[in-house]
Amino acid sequence: MGKKVCVLEQHYTAGGYTHAYWRKGFEWDVGVHYIGEVHKEYSTLRRIFDVISQGRLQWAEMDKVYDKICIGDEEFDFVAGKDNFIESLVANFPKERQAIEHYVELIRLISKQSSTFFAGQALPPMLAKLYNKIRPKLVHKAFFKTAREVLEEITSNQKLISVLCGQWGDYGMVPRDASFLIHALIAKHYLAGAAYPVGGASSIARAIIPTIENAGGHVFTMAKVEQVLIHNNKAYGVQLAGGHKLYADKIISNIGFMNTVNHIMPPSVKTQYGMDNWTNKVTRSSASICLYAGFNQDAQSLNLKKTNLWLYPNEHIEANVDAYRTGETSELPLTYISFPSVKDPDWDNRYPGKATVEIVSLASMDDYQDWFGTTWNDRGDSYLQLKEKLSQILLKSLFKREPQLEQALEFYELSTPLSTQFYQRNDGGEIYGVNHSVDRFKQSFLHPQTPIKNFYMTGSDVLTAGVGGALMGGVMTTMRMQGVFGMNKVKKLLKAGVSQ
Ligand SMILES: Cc1cc2nc3c(=O)[nH]c(=O)nc-3n(C[C@H](O)[C@H](O)[C@H](O)COP(=O)(O)OP(=O)(O)OC[C@H]3O[C@@H](n4cnc5c(N)ncnc54)[C@H](O)[C@@H]3O)c2cc1C
């Protein structure tokens, strides 16, 4: 768009949750297991990725069965393609054909109408507020209900509801609490299958940085912003940790809403706008633990599949999560397993004879209070013991499903909410920004344009979580910055695709 951009990232590597990390001769992604639609050349997301990476980013399609939902000993396949998806579920629930077909039509409708629902994000805030008042007349009523409310209207079959919500870990809220909107957007996002970036998740940033640099911009890592510089309600720069000041015409925060308000807003500006009141109106999304495991044989010899596994002890999603959170049970309510090395066709060139697995489950920052104030790699024995205990639980689940992996295990390491806080600066260890409740989508302060002139927000909190959601958040902020009459310029650029 003719602008020079200076990206300031506090981590030692760029990319946010799309970064990868390396340890003991292995590489793992931390927040990208699969992305929908990008393997379809003409999809909106693919076009945007093509434009911002100038065609450098390549995608590898996963298996037709992109997700396998395992409830107790039963398995349910999510198969790429609308009709395949329906037929696979109908085979498991023969009496529920009508409900399954209705559900698929509804998530497609919600996805289609989401541009109408989110149109206010590209408008000036005052207009957006007015628009959002008439919005309920323009879109389906399911936009304003929880996932469970809508699904209970479609079917009374509780197991089917649990299967349809089997990907709830992708948005981190149980169906009772999550908006149907986020449920539908995620389910539809993957309906045509999913893909993984060739070269691993870090190739996303690697492919985009040259575009920024070719336009005269820069990307700096280990560059923590401490405060936005504001004078007379106008942002004019940022102050970095260490005191260095940088000046710019426009400042855009991509560090999340909570971090923006709590970490980089001058206290006087926070008070002026009552921003604490804003942060009290939303909640942080779930935290997680993740086990990163490395194996000393390649994925083919280990017979690994490009299918994600979602393991549930039984069909009672909410009851299991509640019981785990209150300490009534220690059984994990959800275990998610991903096999990144087999998804990446370039893996064997970089790491011959090796394979990786990632296992994610729920966690709560409250359980880590004993170690508040300690720092990474120096939290003491009790922390290491807890990590080891959790690692063994996750490994046990893995080996129960894939026993051939046990003899090839070479390395494992567990991340906790404290790791997320340390590396990402998210105080609650949250992995999806602000929680995706029905109320979240009514909050006018989650908007690209802030009340401070020349200061904008972007990323997942101005739209939805997920790499696709964050990317579209970027598009919305760009549109807002171009103004009502400049929006078409953005649309044209994206429509033209990589030839631009
Ligand atoms: C375990 C896990 C699995 C996931 N799996 C998937 C998946 O399979 N598919 C999918 O689409 N999505 C997935 N996601 C979600 C997806 O990764 C995120 O929603 C998305 O990347 C968020 O992008 P963002 O740009 O909004 O912010 P982020 O990626 O959170 O980036 C924010 C950046 O701001 C930096 N920062 C914070 N404070 C400062 C400061 N003061 N100064 C400078 N920099 C600062 C942080 O270091 C970070 O790099 C997953 C997330 C996690 C954690």
1: confidence class by pLDDT, cuts 50, 70, 90:
confident
Q: How much distance in Å is there from the Cα of 17 to the middle of ligand 1?
A: 3
Q: What is the mean pLDDT of residues 200-215?
A: 97
Question: Is the model's pLDDT at 255 over the cut of 70?
Answer: yes
491: confidence class by pLDDT, cuts 50, 70, 90:
confident
Name the token pair of 223.
Answer: 């560059």
Q: How much distance in Å is there from the Cα of 18 to the middle of ligand 1?
A: 6
pLDDT tens for 265-284 read: 999 999 999 999 999 999 99
Q: How much distance in Å is there from the Cα of 239 to the middle of ligand 1?
A: 22
pLDDT the model gives residue 373:
92
Reduced 3-state DSSP string for the chain: CCCCCEEECCCCCCCHHHCEEEECCEEEECCCCCEECCCCCCCHHHHHHHHHCCCCCCEEECCCEEEEEEECCEEEEEECCHHHHHHHHHHHCHHHHHHHHHHHHHHHHHHHHHHHHCHHHHCCHHHHHHHHHHHHHHCCHHHHCEHHHHHHHHCCCHHHHHHHCCCHHHCCCCCCCCEHHHHHHHHHHCCCCEEEECCCCHHHHHHHHHHHHHCCCEEECCCCEEEEEEECCEEEEEEECCCCEEECCCEEECCCHHHHHHHHCCHHHHHHHCHHHHHHHCCECCEEEEEEEEECCCCCCCCCCCCEEEEECCCCHHHHHHHHHCCCCCCCCCEEEECHHHHCCCHHHHCCCCEEEEEEEEECHHHHHHHCCCECCECCHHHHHHHHHHHHHHHHHHHHHCHHHHHHEEEEEEECHHHHHHHHCCCCCECCCECCCCHHHHCCCCCCECCCECEEECCHHHCCCCHHHHHHHHHHHHHHHHCCCCHHHHHHHHHHHHHC
Give the closest residue (by CA) to ligand 1 atom 1.
31
Contact 99, 160 (CB under 8 A): yes
Q: How much distance in Å is there from the Cα of 130 to the middle of ligand 1?
A: 31
For residues 369 and 398, give the distance between their C-alpha atoms in angstroms, rounded to a whole number.
28
| For the CA of 459, the nearest atom of ligand 1 | 26
Give the closest residue (by CA) to ligand 1 atom 2.
31
Average pLDDT over the chain reads 97
Question: Is the model's pLDDT at 500 over the cut of 60?
Answer: no
Give the closest residue (by CA) to ligand 1 atom 10.
466
User: Which of 360-364, 415-419, 481-485 has the weakest average pLDDT?
Assistant: 481-485
Q: How much distance in Å is there from the Cα of 199 to the middle of ligand 1?
A: 19
pLDDT tens for 23-56 read: 999 999 999 999 999 999 999 999 999 999 999 9
Beta bridge partners of 288: 362
298: confidence class by pLDDT, cuts 50, 70, 90:
very high
| For the CA of 34, the nearest atom of ligand 1 | 8
pLDDT the model gives residue 499:
55
| For the CA of 189, the nearest atom of ligand 1 | 11
Q: How much distance in Å is there from the Cα of 165 to the middle of ligand 1?
A: 23
pLDDT the model gives residue 84:
98
Q: What is the mean pLDDT of residues 409-433?
A: 97
98: confidence class by pLDDT, cuts 50, 70, 90:
very high
Pocket of ligand 1, beta carbon within 6 A = 8-11, 16-18, 31-35, 224-225, 254-256, 259, 263-264, 288, 290, 360, 424-425, 431-432, 459-460, 465-468, 470
Q: How much distance in Å is there from the Cα of 415 to the middle of ligand 1?
A: 15
pLDDT tens for 143-192 read: 999 999 999 999 999 999 999 999 999 999 999 999 999 999 999 999 99
For residues 101 and 87, give the distance between their C-alpha atoms in angstroms, rounded to a whole number.
9
pLDDT the model gives residue 295:
98
pLDDT the model gives residue 2:
87
Residue % of the chain over a pLDDT of 90 = 96
pLDDT the model gives residue 495:
79
pTM above 0.95, yes or no: yes
pLDDT the model gives residue 486:
83
- Taking the alpha carbons at both ends of the chain, their separation in whole angstroms is 11
Q: What is the mean pLDDT of residues 472-483?
A: 96
